[in-house]
Structure 1
Amino acid sequence: MLFSYFVSKLPERHLDSVVIEYRMYVVWTVQISGQEVGHGK
């Protein structure tokens, strides 16, 4: 999963940047799933 990728990056980068990227990933995933539901209807 991508979560393990973010965790593996913790020692290399600031936690803040990882959290920001994770939030962006979550928002992107929600948008994609929302579009799929909209097209399904």
Structure 2
Amino acid sequence: MLYHLWVRHHLRPGDFWELPRGERMLLLAFAEQEMDSIAASKA
């Protein structure tokens, strides 16, 4: 998941972990939604 955020959105893992917990959870939820959408479009 962190790899996806880094490659697609240029958010480094260290920067991710410096964010408040709620913001990290929101970014993870958005990234999961984005990855599901990408997978569905390839299927």
Q: Mark yes or no: TM-score above 0.5.
A: yes
Q: Identity across aligned pairs (percent)?
A: 12
TM-score scaled to structure 1, two decimals?
A: 0.65
The answer for unaligned runs of 5 or more in structure 1 is: none
Q: Which runs of 4+ in 1 moved over 2 A?
A: none
The answer for unaligned runs of 5 or more in structure 2 is: 4-12
TM-score scaled to structure 2, two decimals?
A: 0.62
Task: Determine the structure 2 residue equivalent to 1:13.
Answer: 19
Which structure has the larger Rg? 1
Aligned to 1:33, what secondary structure does the other structure show? helix
Aligned pairs, number: 33
Task: Determine the structure 1 residue equivalent to 2:30.
Answer: 24
CA RMSD of aligned residues (A): 1.7
